Structure 1
Amino acid sequence: AAMPTIDPPSDQPPQLATPRRAWRRWLAAPLALAAAVSSVVFVDETELVIVERLGEIVAVYDQTAPPSSDRGLHFKLPWPVSVVRRFDCRQLLLDPPAREMFTRDRKNITVSSFLAWKIADPAPATPLTSRPVVTFFRRLGDRATAESRLDARLRAALSAEIARSDLNQLLQVETSEQGPGDDSPLSDVARRTHLALVAAMGSETLRESLGIDLIDLRIRRINLPEGNRIAVYERMRTERMRIAERYRSAGGAERTRVESQARRQSEELLARAEADAERIRGEGEAEALTVLNQAHALDPEFYEFQRTLSAYSRILNDQTTLVLSAGSRMFRLLREGAPGMEPQPSSRAADALVIPETGRQSAAPGGAPP
């Protein structure tokens, strides 16, 4: 039988080798691109970045202040050899729901508060493993865990501080136009709670233990549970009405005092004014009499004549009948005229009206006897 022949090996690859090699090249290209992309680390202005290589921290980008800022583009080994951890470096707000708490006088209230915090900034020349962001990553891991821990501590510290104050102290109304100040009861409770949160770690600060800083803590509002809100509001209304009535009484007393003082001052002013008026009036009358006497002394006869005319002007009118004796001054004035004047015809005619038997004269119109 013939022996089978074996062909010598050929240097040419089988025909199927060419498609396989092309497939490998097409697969290697995306992998190389993905590796290149994963080797680039871009640090944003709002981020803190940790680079781990096989579980060991090899780089930390947490310098945000110029000129040592490390924001921008960096490189690392591709994933999964190196892993990037990103954290927010901005101020964050913890806003837990309102919780019921008891005051020192055993009143039940609901307290709503908020807490501002952030991952602490590193001190200069801080070792890599002691950076605050590294401590935050190792102790807390992420923001949700950090806020859960802070919420628990905030609730405990705030409850303890609320229990040290009475309800009336917490409900004191701020009368300033600027609103509650730094010395208001709620601000004081928030300040003590802030200090209690910082001191809760014992010898370690919050930055050393968790890598975070507390920026601010405020109490937004306090309220009463629905069950006893009406009763407490009524008690508060009664108390405010009592205070308002006290203010009204004090205001009424002050008004009475001011009115009495004003009335007394007015009477004193009027009395002084009347006294001054009487004095001035007396001085004026005295001066007028002096001037009048001086004028009379200059011409006594003219003074008598003026007085007679004044008497005529007061008693005579169209309906007056006057009966005069022949020796009266008025009759003499009618008959003779003023001193130093020539008798007028009317005065001579008046002589014919004289009644010798009676010595009386009628001044009535028509010469009718009186």
Structure 2
Amino acid sequence: MKKFKLTGFIIAGILVVICLFGSLFIVKEGEYKIILRFGEAIDSKSEPGLYMKVPFIDNIKVLPKYQMTYENVPTQIMTKDKKVILVDNYTVWRIDDPVKFNKTSHNVSDGAQRINEAVYNSVRRKLSEVNYDEIISENTARGDLNDEITKDVALSLQRDNYGIKIVDVRIKRTDLPESNKESVYNRMISDRQSIAARYLSEGDEESKKITSKADRSALELMAQAEADSKKIVAEGEQEAAKIYNEAYGKDPEFYNLYRTLESYVVTMSNNPVIMMPIDSPYAQILLGE
């Protein structure tokens, strides 16, 4: 009898240990643990530690908590100017709500498929609104497009309650199909040459305008300067005449003598030979009479 009791205690102890260990589970760093009851997610744990569940009823499902990168399948998109291009992009994402994610996607592969569909729809819609040369330019639309697509995809998945957080969507490559790549490149070169010719023509026209304006200003300045100089000379001559008249009015005889002496200086320069009547006033002054 005692033997049967001991065996019963041992079996009960084993069952208790099994139940105890069956009710415990560990959450590690970088993972979610979802508690499933009859196949339906009822709770999730994200912080590392030891947790309990109902043994034999609850099951545990593991999902990654870290960021993941999904490489979207290259697809053909038509731009606003009717060019077919091959678009290759990638998406950085993570599971934000494991319970919602489990209800809609079940596993990482299904979640990646949801992302692929949302990214394709957004990229197709956004690239159809811009021209090809705007897409390939690093200094114009590419940065804005990446940000717009990221925001658009994030809102789409959030609206559908997929439990997915979109961190970033980036376009890696936008290539033309080989069949029409050369013709499009030649067309782009022709367009750029046309734009360059227009800029050169506009620059030449502007240069002529500036030169003409400068020449006109120079002529106006020279004419004004000449008029000012003539005015100054006339005023100077007028002032000199005034001084002469004042001087002459004060002592006419002295003034006549002064002017006569000045004429002598001019006349006698370089030892000239002068013939004049001896009784002329000019000669008499020279002779000291």
**What TM-score, normalized by structure 1, do the two folds share?**
0.59
Q: Residue 48 of structure 1 is aligned with which of 11, 20, 32? A: 32
Q: How does 1:97-246 map to 2 (within 5 A)?
A: 98-103=74-79, 106-120=82-96, 132-159=97-124, 162=127, 164-165=128-129, 169-172=131-134, 179-180=139-140, 184=141, 187=144, 191=148, 195=152, 205-207=159-161, 210-246=162-198
Cα offset, 1:151, TM superposition: 1.7
> Counterparts of 1:58 and 1:161 in 2: how far apart (Å)?
39
Q: Residue 278 of structure 1 is aligned with which of 227, 230, 243? A: 230
Could you report, residue by residue, the CA deviation over 1:79-102 in whole angstroms, capped at 9, with x for unpaired residues?
998765443445544332543333
Task: Please tell me whether the aligned partners of residues 51 and 82 of structure 1 are also in contact (alpha carbons under 8 angstroms).
Answer: yes
> Counterparts of 1:275 and 1:92 in 2: how far apart (Å)?
84
Give 1:256's aligned residue. 208
Task: Please tell me whether the aligned partners of residues 71 and 91 of structure 2 are also in contact (alpha carbons under 8 angstroms).
Answer: yes
Could you report, residue by residue, the CA deviation over 1:198-244 in whole angstroms, capped at 9, with x for unpaired residues?
55x8xx9322xx22244454444423233432221111111111122
> Counterparts of 1:155 and 1:99 in 2: how far apart (Å)?
8
Q: 1:213 and 1:240, CA in 2 relative to 1: closer, same or farther beyond 3 A?
A: same
Which range moved further: 326-335 or 289-298?
A: 326-335
Cα offset, 1:110, TM superposition: 1.7
Task: Please tell me whether the aligned partners of residues 98 and 112 of structure 1 are also in contact (alpha carbons under 8 angstroms).
Answer: yes
> Counterparts of 1:79 and 1:227 in 2: how far apart (Å)?
63
Could you report, residue by residue, the CA deviation over 1:81-126 in whole angstroms, capped at 9, with x for unpaired residues?
8765443445544332543333465532122333343323xxxxxx
Task: Please tell me whether the aligned partners of residues 52 and 83 of structure 1 are also in contact (alpha carbons under 8 angstroms).
Answer: yes
Give 2:10's aligned residue. none
The SS at the match of 1:325 is coil
> Counterparts of 1:56 and 1:113 in 2: how far apart (Å)?
35
Larger radius of gyration between Structure 1 and Structure 2: 1
The SS at the match of 2:63 is strand
Cα offset, 1:48, TM superposition: 3.0
Give 2:52's aligned residue. 76
> Counterparts of 1:41 and 1:214 in 2: how far apart (Å)?
28
Q: 1:57 and 1:150, CA in 2 relative to 1: closer, same or farther beyond 3 A?
A: closer
Q: 1:306 and 1:197, CA in 2 relative to 1: closer, same or farther beyond 3 A?
A: same
**What TM-score, normalized by structure 2, do the two folds share?**
0.72
Q: 1:97 and 1:291, CA in 2 relative to 1: closer, same or farther beyond 3 A?
A: farther
Query: Does 1:321 find its partner at 2:283?
Result: no
> Counterparts of 1:331 and 1:79 in 2: how far apart (Å)?
154
> Counterparts of 2:153 and 2:37 in 1: how far apart (Å)?
39
> Counterparts of 1:138 and 1:219 in 2: how far apart (Å)?
30
Larger RCO (CA under 8 A, 6+ residues apart) = 2
Task: Please tell me whether the aligned partners of residues 80 and 132 of structure 2 are also in contact (alpha carbons under 8 angstroms).
Answer: no
Task: Please tell me whether the aligned partners of residues 86 and 175 of structure 2 are also in contact (alpha carbons under 8 angstroms).
Answer: yes
> Counterparts of 2:146 and 2:139 in 1: how far apart (Å)?
16
Aligned residues: 272
Query: Does 1:87 find its partner at 2:63?
Result: yes
